[in-house]
Amino acid sequence: MYNLLKFELYKLKNSKTFRNLFIITIILIIFVLRLFYTNAGQWKLFDFIYNNRECGFFINNFKDRIHPTSLEFFNSAFGFSIVMIILLMFIVGAFVVDEYSHGTIKNIIAYGHNRTKIYISKLLIICLGIFTLVAFLLFIPVVIALIIGWIQYVSISEIIKIIKSTVLICWIFTTIASIYMCLDTIIRSKSVAIGLCIVFLFSNGAGFFSKFKFERYIPSFMLMNIGTLRPNSVDILNMIVTCFILTILSTLLGIFIFKNQDIK
């Protein structure tokens, strides 16, 4: 398992796909800072009404531009987490679908590695990759705003809220990564898998699933909940439990399919 993790980590560090996604993340950070600097208006992505409240991904939402807070910069950057969901599709595609087509997975299995360990090691490194991008997106704007002087100080309560939100966000992205990986293992086609995920994502963003009353179990909606609806402790507990169940089920299903696949 240790050697598999080292191998997957090496591929992540040298992945052209990951480098390109890192560049996209830097562009998003520049965008967050530029929107604030130019006094641009609020941006709303996937804006819809849920339980008589506005829901979506909100960017550049500052109450007082003269005295912005670190939490507001954090939330503004978080508005681009919808882009992170899409970028995650390409990370999973590079580690799963591309390796099916290039014969990498077949060669790893031929060396005698356990398929379950292969699957789990890939999932762990995929999660590490998206955690890196998400952390960079969320924290760098806050750091730069502090250096420039836009943020005068950061309170302990703000730091605690940022840490709690980051942990919850990463937990949700773990679930999304697990679901994507399971789907890619089944389909084994990057274009089809990404297409299905984008259709589902935009349907969710348009509020389509709110008609069926199960949107709160959808990870992308959970991210919207964090960004705009300000979840209470009960909502947060429900998110943690739901993500745990979805992660376990999708991982077990993915491992079962992977172990029984005829890989040529």
What is the reported pLDDT for 132? 92
What is the reported pLDDT for 25? 93
At 206-245, the pLDDT tens digits run: 556 556 566 677 888 788 877 665 666 777 888 889 999 9
For the chain, the structural domain boundaries read 2-259
The per-residue b/e assignment along 126-136, b for 16 or more CB within 10 angstroms, e otherwise, is: bbebbbebbeb
Give 140's pLDDT tier (boundaries 50, 70, 90).
very high
Q: Which residues contact 51 (CB under 8 A, 6 or more apart)?
A: none
pLDDT over 90 (residue 150): no
Torsion sign, CA atoms 199, 225, 254, 105: positive
